[in-house]
């Protein structure tokens, strides 16, 4: 019956609260990683992380329960299960912040290319920040040269732009996995920047040329058809007139 | 007479079995390089490598025998001869795995841009893995910093994304040749990613604009021609009627 | 009344003088940073820098006074205030040189793609030079390897092309902030170069094909409509003639 | 009178011989730089370099003499004068090999995009080789790590692909100038590869779509105009007939 809620309804109800929780989670996580908090402050930030984790876990279980067909959803969302279940993938929980970002963007409602630019700038900034946090947590105290959030941010920007000086590099396995994500993020960033510029230049150049040589449009075509129809009616009348 | 088989028939019969052999060869080669096998295990992996080599050699000889004109095929397939004949080019035999990958893709049958994406992702992953294996084999025990498959994979990804930290670099000549392939692979990867994005953005933007200003299509054109033909027949009838 | 000048008028009067001052400022700043001037020479260069700063400050105050609505201009020009008010952002005053460059370009009046090329080449050259100056000032005497203008220029070009050898890297916080600007400038440079080439190749290829299969233009369309109109007038005359 | 030859005729007579000389110059230069020749062999290679230089100098003087207007040619060819007159720019004489390459390509006569690919591959290979030679000559014996042609080639490829490990970097000023050319060559290479791919993908995708929605062509347009003309002649005949 109509009493049963669907997965879509669940999504609509929980999207914004979960996005908010993701931002809170990001702040708590930042606080913990950057500030190396001790005592009460650390407890508070851990409480927020646990609230975030609990909310994501409940969301996973409810989404799975509401999904139709359930097994297909399970197979296509194994990554969600891994993020919730494996403590080592904790940084990936920050990806929920990305969903907050995507939600915001969907409600911005601008032109397609404008949205691409917002997505590239915001996505790159978020990726750099989250990767820096995760990198700092992974590398801190393991003998590498990434020991402050400043080092981590510097390293992340050197990596995402594919400059890669090599003055600061990760030495742990998790640190290197985070680096790999940033590197491919960098290739994607170059791709998006270039492609958006290319699209814009192609359009501007073709506009410059269309002033000279304009392609026929559907509107002009309709004008022509109207002309021919008028001609036809005139001919019909002319064919009737001599009979009188 | 029709008894003689052609090169095309030979290809059709041997493509899939050889692709399968290439995958077996890749696994055996990985096993040998990564595991540094000793005793029986090593013998088994070498047996599989020899089976792979023998199959490729037979394929080369039969293809040459069936080729028309034979000398032209010989000249345009010197690289195949080198891969089979020179032990130093052994890593290149792994390229046969690429042909398995191409076969799979050909049978996927999707849209052009979808196939490009699959090709770029799969090709980059395959290139990184095969180059890591070849690099590890070339560098192992020569004093460089690539001494485990982890080092090799890290180095390969740093190289293909053109980040190039320089914390891990090849020191042997063969290792550097493998690196050169990866570097140009990286330039190609950036190119494919960017070009695919550009094509997609250009299309989406032009769709947004076509809603306003639509170009005339062949279908609309046919409608217009029909209208004119109808007009002509009417005129012919009108020209006959006054004579009555 | 008409006595009150508008912000546009102010811009028109001050654009060229301020651009000239920016160039003088750039020369004085270069002289100070590169030459490490002592005594009179240093005093002279500082006088020019102060003249530049005073002019920019006056321009900021007058622009703010003339802006309508004033608060909106204030919020959208916070960066201009920061450049004038904070001594640490002194290198950013060199950005006024960029406005001189943009003014020059606006008066060049060529084709769109030509302007993009000029903008990319000139912008990259200016960015490399200004970043080198700012980097040298930030790093000089802080133990890093950027100690001469030659080091700084070498480092800037290695960075903007995203090569990133890492033989010369900034060690101070301000030096790293300058580096981040250059890196993103490099991503933008690759983007502009590629996009301009892509636009040019797409155009040339489509020209090659249009020789075979040409799209109908608005001009041809008008010819066709004229033909139909002539037909219509003939028909009107034909319809009148039998009545006589 | 017609006795005076023009600059165009001079070009037509000397293009191929000078291109050949450039190749000989490249071989002699390679021999000298790579082989560090002593005694007779070195004398022979120097003789060829001198022949090359003499030919380029004569070509410069004759071209200047034949140019109209002469001063404009002089101003726009200052770089040619510098290459001939300054011994330090000797490596730039190798650029004449590029003109041999361009000549060959012009006579290949293929499709536009095919020519771009040939140009990018050939140009990159030539740039890497010539830059390696010039780098080796500049760096040899100056304490850097580029001491063999192998080092130089490895460094050149690491640089042109913008990977930039930093394990081998130039230490001399001339070496760094050569490096700067290679870096911008690398940005251009990425640009050309990406732009060609983008052009190809855009074309293939639009071909896939044109099967569904085909734009009207000039040929179809002509068919339509013929139809209307036939209609008009019929009408003229119909208008004459009733008069009989």
Model pLDDT for residues A66-102, shown as the tens digit of each residue: 887 888 888 888 877 887 777 666 666 666 666 666 6
Block residue for tokens 């023009």: D6
Q: For testing the chain B interface, which of C163, C164, C217 should be mutated: the one with the most B CBs within 10 Å? A: C164
Separation of alpha carbons C32 and C26, rounded Å: 10
Separation of alpha carbons B90 and B84, rounded Å: 8
Separation of alpha carbons C154 and C172, rounded Å: 18
Tell me the nearest-neighbour CA distance from C204 into chain A, angstroms: 12
Separation of alpha carbons A186 and A184, rounded Å: 5
- A157 pLDDT above the threshold of 80: yes
My answer on whether B85 and B162 are in the same domain is no
Highest mean pLDDT among A121-125, A163-167, D22-26, D32-36 belongs to A163-167
My answer on whether C41 and C90 are in the same domain is yes
pLDDT for res B110: 58
Q: What angle do CA A57, A60, A64 make, to 5 degrees?
A: 145
Look at residue B56 and tell me if it is in a domain.
yes
Tell me whether B198 touches chain A (CB under 8 Å). Answer: yes
My answer on whether C144 and C185 are in the same domain is yes
Q: Least CB-CB distance to B198: which of C165, C198, C215? A: C198
pLDDT for res D117: 82
Contacts (Cβ under 8 Å, ≥6 apart) of C81 = C60, C74
The CATH number that applies at residue A176 is 1.10.287.70
What CA–CA distances, in Å, run from A151 to A133, A169, B235, C146?
11, 10, 85, 19
My answer on whether B101 and B127 are in the same domain is no
Given the cut 0.95, state whether the ipTM is greater than it.
Answer: no
Separation of alpha carbons C142 and C144, rounded Å: 6
Separation of alpha carbons A73 and B143, rounded Å: 49
pLDDT for res A216: 55
Tell me whether D183 touches chain C (CB under 8 Å). Answer: yes
Look at residue B226 and tell me if it is in a domain.
no
pLDDT for res D1: 43
My answer on whether A207 and A220 are in the same domain is no
My answer on whether B5 and B103 are in the same domain is yes
Contact between B149 and B168 (Cβ < 8 Å): no
- B220 pLDDT above the threshold of 70: no
Tell me whether D212 touches chain B (CB under 8 Å). Answer: no
Tell me whether D211 touches chain B (CB under 8 Å). Answer: no
pLDDT digits (tens, 9 = 90+) for D25-55: 888 888 877 876 566 777 777 788 788 888 8
- D215 pLDDT above the threshold of 80: no
Look at residue B42 and tell me if it is in a domain.
yes
Q: What is the mean pLDDT of chain D?
A: 79
Tell me whether C145 touches chain A (CB under 8 Å). Answer: no
My answer on whether D49 and D15 are in the same domain is yes
My answer on whether B163 and B99 are in the same domain is no
My answer on whether D2 and D99 are in the same domain is yes
For helices D149-160 and D112-139, angle between their N-to-C axes, nearest 10 degrees: 130
- B185 pLDDT above the threshold of 50: yes
Number of domains in chain D: 3
Q: What angle do CA D233, D237, D241 make, to 5 degrees?
A: 170
B111: number of Cβ within 10 Å: 10
pLDDT for res A243: 47
Separation of alpha carbons B133 and B34, rounded Å: 8
Report residue A54's pLDDT band, with 50, 70 and 90 as the boundaries: confident
Tell me whether C76 touches chain D (CB under 8 Å). Answer: no
In chain C, residues with a C-beta closer than 8 Å to the C-beta of D190 are 190, 193-194
Cis peptide before A224 (omega within 30 of 0): no
A113-117, B69-73, B100-104: lowest mean pLDDT where? B100-104
In chain D, residues with a C-beta closer than 8 Å to the C-beta of A162 are 162
Per-residue pLDDT of chain C (244 residues), as tens digits, is 445 677 778 878 887 788 788 788 888 888 877 876 566 777 777 888 788 888 888 888 888 888 878 888 888 888 778 877 777 666 666 666 666 666 666 665 557 777 788 788 888 998 899 899 889 988 988 888 898 899 999 999 999 999 999 999 999 998 999 999 999 999 999 999 899 888 888 888 777 666 554 555 566 667 777 777 777 777 777 666 654 4
- D186 pLDDT above the threshold of 50: yes
My answer on whether D135 and D232 are in the same domain is no
Look at residue B163 and tell me if it is in a domain.
yes
My answer on whether C8 and C93 are in the same domain is yes
Asked which of A101, A118, A149 is the last residue of a domain, the reply is A101
pLDDT for res C218: 60
Q: For residues D188-212, give the mean pLDDT.
A: 80
Higher pLDDT, B223 or A166: A166
My answer on whether D5 and D101 are in the same domain is yes
Look at residue B174 and tell me if it is in a domain.
yes
Contact between A136 and A149 (Cβ < 8 Å): yes
Q: For residues B195-218, give the mean pLDDT.
A: 71
Report residue A156's pLDDT band, with 50, 70 and 90 as the boundaries: very high
Separation of alpha carbons B99 and D220, rounded Å: 44
A86-90, A162-166, D61-65, D203-207: lowest mean pLDDT where? A86-90
Separation of alpha carbons D50 and B157, rounded Å: 47
pLDDT digits (tens, 9 = 90+) for A198-242: 888 888 877 766 655 455 556 666 777 777 777 777 777 766 665
Structural domain boundaries enclosing D230: 214-243
- Return the closest-CA partner of residue D203 out of B205, C206, C200, C194: C206
- A110 pLDDT above the threshold of 70: no
Q: Which residues pair with D114 in a beta bridge?
A: none
Other chains touching D, judged by 3 or more CB pairs under 8 Å = A, B, C
Higher pLDDT, D129 or D1: D129
Q: For residues B202-209, give the mean pLDDT.
A: 75
Q: What percent of chain B has pLDDT above 70?
A: 77
C to D CB pairs, distance under 8 Å: 113
pLDDT for res B244: 43
């Amino acid at each position: 019956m109509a009493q049963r809620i669907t997965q879509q309804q669940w999504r609509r109800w929980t999207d914004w609260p979960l996005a908010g929780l993701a931002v809170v989670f990001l702040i708590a996580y930042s606080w913990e990683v950057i500030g190396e908090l001790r005592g009460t402050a650390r407890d508070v930030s851990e409480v927020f992380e646990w609230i975030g984790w609990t909310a994501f876990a409940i969301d996973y279980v409810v989404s799975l329960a509401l999904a139709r067909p359930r097994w297909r959803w399970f197979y296509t969302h194994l990554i969600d299960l891994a993020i919730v279940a494996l403590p080592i993938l904790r940084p990936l929980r920050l990806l929920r912040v990305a969903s907050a970002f995507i939600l915001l963007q969907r409600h911005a409602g601008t032109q397609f290319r404008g949205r691409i630019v917002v997505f590239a700038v915001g996505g790159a900034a978020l990726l750099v920040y989250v990767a820096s946090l995760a990198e700092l947590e992974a590398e801190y105290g393991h003998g590498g040269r990434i020991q402050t959030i400043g080092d981590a941010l510097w390293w992340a920007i050197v990596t995402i732009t594919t400059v890669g000086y090599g003055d600061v590099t990760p030495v742990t396995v998790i640190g290197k996995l985070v680096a790999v994500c940033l590197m491919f993020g960098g290739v994607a960033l170059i791709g998006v920047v270039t492609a958006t510029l290319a699209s814009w230049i192609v359009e501007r150049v073709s506009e410059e040329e269309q002033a000279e040589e304009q392609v026929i449009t559907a509107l002009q075509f309709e004008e022509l058809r109207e002309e021919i129809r008028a001609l036809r009616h005139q001919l019909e009348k002319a064919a009737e007139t001599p009979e009188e």
